[in-house]
Amino acid sequence: MIQELLDKAVNTHQLKHGELLTLLQTEDSAPLLAAADSVRRQYVGDEVHLRALIEFSNHCRNNCCYCGIRRANRKAVRYRLKPVEIINLGQQAAAMGFKTVVLQSGDDAWFDVPRLTYIISALKKLDLAVTLSIGEKSREEYQAYREAGAARYLLRIETTDSDLYHRLDPGMSWENRRRCLQDLKELGYEVGSGIMVGLPGQSLSSIADDILFFQECDLDMCGIGPFIPHPDTPLADYPGRAFDLSLKVMALARLLLPDINIPATTAMETLNPEGRIIALQSGANVVMPNVTSPECRRFYELYPDKAGVGETAENSRDSIAGKIRAIGRSIGRSAGSHKSKKS
Ligand code: 5AD
């Protein structure tokens, strides 16, 4: 029964809601993870693409109940890199061989269109592909960043259960988040979304909906990570930390969207010292080493004990690159865009 479902997924990349639910409920995840690994190899090969992650500001106007840098967390030590510092980190990343930088921040209005377009243009001159992960903006803003040269955008939907979303993200609107993803797609970005797994009140049925949503959005990238409770948030006492379930969800995303880019997330590494390598062997093909300076990265605390907090940019890159080679995979040499975009 399970093997039949997996064969169907491997061959057709289609599963119905009930079929996804069955696979999510199945205790023994090994066959699912192996199927995702084989689809990954067949569609995107053995190259692992590295993206240099720059966490440039932890100021945030939002108040998401799960997130350590939520507006109401007075204990969070706030920082904001200067444009020149961000560009310098980009320069370092390019010198280290990275082809892509990911600019990530809280939803910080200080970084307006003039400032961000300046930064994006400077990074483009370094021959870097620029990915933004800076939250919900107007279509006009997204357009300005696209015209400045940003090619990709990450915005997780977090959950497609809009009631749950509205409970966890007070003051925000699920419909607006969906609108953002739509605008980004129409503007020609490669679009990444994704969810957290193990949120309080999130059912397996809702996760099955999420996976179908990824397919419906025709995503280019999909990031899945376990929810890890942060002590200074309203969700401090919820269990979360669903490592095995996160892996299964990621594997199912690979089966249904066979040629997209899927990162092995830092949250997975945080729960298991080999988390990213296990993810790379269960459908993932991207890793995002952190190149933010060590003084700042410890304050970008979305969740506690984030993996790699004590590392430098070089440590972050070298430790994962060695492990990637040790499992017989190679480091991608191109910018590693979503394949179908090239044709
Ligand atoms: N645990 C795991 N992931 C989290 N994120 C935010 N807070 C947490 C947490 N406590 C994720 C969200 C967000 C991404 C940048 O980090 O999915 O989109």
Q: Is residue 340 a part of any domain in this protein? A: no
Write the CATH number for 259.
3.20.20.70
Give 76's DSSP letter: S
**pLDDT tens digits, residue range 298-319?**
999 999 999 999 999 999 999 9
Task: Report the pLDDT value the prediction gives residue 342, as an integer from 0 to 100.
Answer: 43
Q: Is residue 5 a part of any domain in this protein? A: no
Which two tokens mark 283? 């459908």
Q: Is residue 342 a part of any domain in this protein? A: no
Ligand 1: residue of 136, 172, 303, 306 to mutate (most ligand atoms within 8 A of CB) is 303
Task: Report the pLDDT value the prediction gives residue 339, as an integer from 0 to 100.
Answer: 62
Q: Is residue 6 a part of any domain in this protein? A: no
Whose Cα sits closest to atom 2 in ligand 1?
227
Which two tokens mark 21? 């639910």
* CA 1 to each of CA 6, 23, 199, 252: distance values in angstroms, whole numbers, following the listed order: 9, 10, 29, 16
Q: How far apart are CA 77 and CA 200, in angstroms?
A: 26
Q: Is residue 9 a part of any domain in this protein? A: no
Ligand 1 centroid – CA 201 distance (Å): 16
Ligand 1: residue of 60, 169, 302 to mutate (most ligand atoms within 8 A of CB) is 302
Ligand 1 centroid – CA 67 distance (Å): 6
End-to-end C-alpha distance for the chain, whole angstroms: 37
Q: Is residue 109 a part of any domain in this protein? A: yes
Report residues of the chain scoring pLDDT below 50: 341-343
Q: Which atom of ligand 1 is nearest to the CA of 156?
A: 18
Q: Is residue 104 a part of any domain in this protein? A: yes
Q: How far apart are CA 160 and CA 208, in angstroms?
A: 10
Ligand 1 centroid – CA 266 distance (Å): 10
The upper half-sphere exposure of residue 92, i.e. CA atoms within 13 Å in the direction of its Cβ, equals: 18
Q: Which atom of ligand 1 is nearest to the CA of 66?
A: 10
- Please tell me the total count of domains within the chain: 1
Q: Is residue 341 a part of any domain in this protein? A: no
Domain range holding 178?
15-330
Ligand 1: residue of 66, 108, 297 to mutate (most ligand atoms within 8 A of CB) is 66
